[in-house]
Amino acid sequence: MQMKPKRRTIMENGNGGDKQALATSIRNGEDLGSVIRLAFQVGKPEALLHQLKNIAKEKEVEIEDLCKLHYEEFILAVDELRGVLVDAEGLKFSLSRDNHRLQEATSPLLAKVDELLELCSTQKNISEAIKMLKVCIAVVGLCAKCNKHVSEDRLFPALKSLDVLQEYLERIPIKSLRKVIEKSIPAIKLHVEEKVCKEFNDWLVHIRSTVREIGQQAIGQAASARQRDEEMRARQREAEEQSRSGVGNCVYTLDIEDIDEDSILKFDLTPVYRAYHIHFCLGIEDRFREYYYKNRLLQLNLDLQLSPSQPFLESHQIFFAQIAGYFIVEDRVLRTVGGLLLDNQVETIWETAITKITSVLESQFSHMDTASHILLIKDYVTLFSSTLRRNGYAVDPLIEILDKSRDKYHELLLHECRKHISDILTDDPYKQMIIKKEYEYNMNILSFHLQTSELMPAFPYVAPFSSAVPDTCRIVRSFIGDSVSYLSYGGHISFYDVVKKYLDKLLIDVLNEALLKSIHGNTSSVPHAMQIAANISVLVRACDFFLHHAAQLCGIPLRLVEMPHVGLTSKAVLKSSQSAAYNVFIGLVNSKLDETMSLATNINWTADDVPKNGNECMHEVKIYLDKIISTAQQRLPLDALYKVGRGALEHISDSIVSALLSDSVKRFNVNSIIGMDHDLKLLETFADEIFHDTGLSEVHDKEGTLRDCLVEARQLIDLLLSTQPENFLNPEIRGRQYSALDYKKVASICEKFKDSPDRLFGSLSSRNSKPNTRKKSMDMLMKRLRDFQ
């Protein structure tokens, strides 16, 4: 704290001012660099030098004073030093004498010490020799142990022994032994490498011959898993049906199956483990990785080659089993032999394989012309895909190939169904099927839900349809099963809509076209047409069964299928064909009615007397209609029966009106009209009986009775027999009694009507000179109708 002010003082007096302060700084050992620098900066170094010289002189004076003060003490110290030197000489002499005596006394002892040292040296050499021998014995023992391991095929312990020998090499004292061992170690390592490579090559040959069995076992396991899934879905469908119907008690169980896949798929990878581990210990694992990858890739390329001498249909299972086994082995190697294979290597191998597989499938599918062959291969491909998917491989390209072949498969399936359905319809006798046994009933009716009653009928049972219906249903059911089989276990989670689309295609493009061809091409008789119409009616009803069957196979709850607006489009198309069949049937019935009636020739339109019991031809028409309606009642539904009855009766009514309008009937009289009135009454009574006896009154009461179909003929006959036919011109009366009649038709018919026979055509008893009131009214009607025209 006190030194800093002093330095400042010195610096301030750098011109040689304060000599005391400079001396104090020198005494205290302070740095004078700053003072000197300051003196030179101000340009007065001489003053500083002068002060330093003065300080030096003062110090010299102080030294001299100090020496003078202690002179006597210095002299005494010198005297004492001289005494010490005399004592030292005496001590040296005494030591020399004692040393001589000691040498004489210890000479024998020194000889003994030399002998002892020589013995110690010998002992050291012996110890070193023993140590060297121990090292050599250990090395020789390791060599013997290594040879034993090699001879016993224990290669890893042999390599471990070699590693220990390499650690001993620097410590082996015998050079010749060290050189022998140095030469032997590489030879032994080469021998070990060659031995494991031979074992590995043998394994390559063995594994290629066994991967087929491995693949077959794995694919069989996938098939068993699929079977269990199908059984579980079947139980679910059964439980759902029981739940819907309220029958039975559903018992839910949990089935747990402990399947050790690795224990089933047993194959030995020990040579691979051993070879890779040995190469790893030798430090050449990269070379073995490359060797393994190269050889396995060559094996895969061989496995991907198709046999030219064997059709793919026969060899596809072997082909896919071989590839599946190959990649199962590779997956096991990847998971258990750490570092031998990399994920990207396996992916590259798989991409190579799947590219080749997809190419093979595309080529094979393009040349196949049988749906069952495609289905067979597709089924095995899906099992193959399922097997490899469980081992972590991406199989989407395979599923895409199957999806691309879906349309071709269904086209072939439709072609086969078209041929079968065409043969069935061609060979069908179009007669009602007679079922004699209960199992036949179950097989042909209950299995397709074609029964009209829940009660078991008496046998023999006459079905309303011919044998073509159950045969066709079997084809459709088989088509649904084949379609579901192809679409299931693919890329689609829910494929019900796809199955439904192809089912519609089958029913519309195949079945409906075949039915239309049968309707318009081969229908020549009324029984034939009636049976076709009856068959189509049953097939329309079977559409619900087809839809339910497809939903069940696809695992879709039936409650979803039974919702509105989810039915088959083909059902409406078949209904239109059903209407076409009805029309053809009705047309043939009407043609037969025309042949039976022949009104223009079978009725005497200018009869002198009223025919008793009506016209004979109308009785025949009634008998024919009764037969047709009775037969149709057994085969056709009530709607069809109603259409047939209406069509026939409307045709009769139109025929009566047409006959009166035809040019072949030049004129007619009241007697023929009275006979026609009797015929109409007969037909009206028949129509009422049919309408009530067949149950049509309960279904079509609001749509009108069958009697209403004869309304035009009835109103025309009533008009011609009316006492005041001119009332036809009264709008109120016409609307109430003659609403079905046309002005022009009435005018044309009235022109031909003669109330009574004239001289040429009438009888004498019917002549009357007085004007007839009805005739006057008819004349008035004809005159007014002429005015309207």
pLDDT at 788: 64
| In this structure, CATH architecture of domain 598-788 | Orthogonal Bundle (1.10)
Cα–Cα distance, 548 to 478 (Å, whole number):
14
Q: Is the pLDDT of residue 247 over 60?
A: no
Instruction: Give the residue from 317, 321, 302, 304 showing the smallest Cα distance to 212.
Output: 321
> Residue 544: what are its φ and ψ, rounded to 5°?
-65, -40
What residues pair up with 768 in beta bridges, in sequence order? none
Q: Is the pLDDT of residue 10 over 60?
A: no
Contact 641, 696 (CB under 8 A): yes
Q: Is 453 exposed, middle or buried (0-12, 13-18, 19+ CB in 10 A)?
A: exposed
- DSSP states along 437-463: SHHHHHHHTGGGT--S-SSPPPSSEE-
What is the enclosing helix (H) or strand (E) of 434?
Answer: strand 434-435
Cα–Cα distance, 681 to 679 (Å, whole number):
5
Q: Is 406 exposed, middle or buried (0-12, 13-18, 19+ CB in 10 A)?
A: buried
Contacts of 549 (CB under 8 A, 6+ apart): 477, 480
Q: Which whole number is the average pLDDT over 597-626?
A: 79
Cα–Cα distance, 317 to 326 (Å, whole number):
14
What residues pair up with 461 in beta bridges, in sequence order? 435
Whether cis (ω within 30° of 0) applies to the bond prior to 460 is yes
498 vs 180, residue with greater confidence: 498
Tokens read off for 781: 């009607």
pLDDT at 82: 81
pLDDT at 787: 67
> pLDDT tens, 327-348?
999 988 888 888 888 888 889 9
Residue 522: band (very low, low, confident or very high) from pLDDT cuts 50, 70, 90 = low
Q: Where are the beta strands (DSSP E) in 536-689?
A: 668-669
pLDDT at 193: 83
Residue 18: band (very low, low, confident or very high) from pLDDT cuts 50, 70, 90 = low
Residue 631: band (very low, low, confident or very high) from pLDDT cuts 50, 70, 90 = confident
Q: Which whole number is the average pLDDT over 771-785?
A: 74
Contact 472, 541 (CB under 8 A): no
pLDDT at 755: 62
Task: Kindly list the domain boundaries of the chain, sorted by start residue.
Answer: 3-69, 73-173, 192-244+260-404, 432-581, 598-788
Altogether, the residues listed in the chain come to a count of 789
Other beta carbons within 10 angstroms of residue 43's beta carbon come to 8
Contact 706, 688 (CB under 8 A): yes
**pTM as predicted:** 0.70
Q: What is the DSSP letter of 522?
A: S
User: What CATH code is assigned to 432-581?
Assistant: 1.10.357
pLDDT at 756: 57
Q: Is the pLDDT of residue 14 over 60?
A: no
Residue 384, amino acid: F
Give the alpha-carbon dihedral of 347, 349, 355, 361, to 10 degrees. -110
Residue 125: band (very low, low, confident or very high) from pLDDT cuts 50, 70, 90 = confident
> pLDDT tens, 273-324?
888 888 888 888 899 999 999 999 999 999 888 888 888 888 888 999 999 9
pLDDT at 448: 86
Tokens read off for 726: 């001119």
Tokens read off for 480: 């649904």
Q: Is the pLDDT of residue 561 over 80?
A: no
In the chain, what percentage of residues exceed pLDDT 90?
11
Contacts of 680 (CB under 8 A, 6+ apart): 656, 710, 713, 714, 717
Q: Is the pLDDT of residue 242 over 80?
A: no
Integer-rounded Cα Rg, in Å, for the chain is 63
**Equal fold, 432-581 vs 598-788:** yes
Contacts of 659 (CB under 8 A, 6+ apart): 599, 600, 603, 665
Q: Is the pLDDT of residue 9 over 60?
A: no
Q: Is the pLDDT of residue 491 over 60?
A: no
Q: Is 436 exposed, middle or buried (0-12, 13-18, 19+ CB in 10 A)?
A: exposed
pLDDT at 761: 41
Q: Which whole number is the average pLDDT over 373-397?
A: 89
> pLDDT tens, 163-194?
777 776 777 777 777 787 778 778 878 888 88
How high does pLDDT run on average in the chain?
81
pLDDT at 285: 87
Least confident among 108-117, 295-304, 358-367: 108-117
Angle at 242 between CA 237 and CA 245, to 5 degrees: 125
Angle between helices 526-554 and 496-505 (to 10 degrees): 170
pLDDT at 249: 52
pLDDT at 476: 93
Answer left, alpha or beta for residue 57, where phi above 0 means left and psi between -120 and 50 means alpha: alpha
pLDDT at 179: 81
List C-alpha distances in Å: 199 to 195, 208, 387: 6, 14, 29
- DSSP states along 181-248: HHHHHHHHHHHHHHHHHHHHHHHHHHHHHHHHHHHHHHHHHHHHHHHHHHHHHHHHHHHHHHHHHT-S
Tokens 């309960």 appear where?
Answer: 698
Q: Which whole number is the average pLDDT over 649-667?
A: 85
Q: Is the pLDDT of residue 27 over 90?
A: no
pLDDT at 509: 92
Other beta carbons within 10 angstroms of residue 769's beta carbon come to 4
> pLDDT tens, 738-759?
888 888 888 888 888 776 554 4
Handedness of CA 475, 476, 481, 485 (dihedral sign): positive
Residue 487: band (very low, low, confident or very high) from pLDDT cuts 50, 70, 90 = confident
Q: Which whole number is the average pLDDT over 417-422?
A: 92
Q: Which whole number is the average pLDDT over 679-687?
A: 87
Q: Which whole number is the average pLDDT over 344-372?
A: 90
Q: Which whole number is the average pLDDT over 724-751?
A: 83
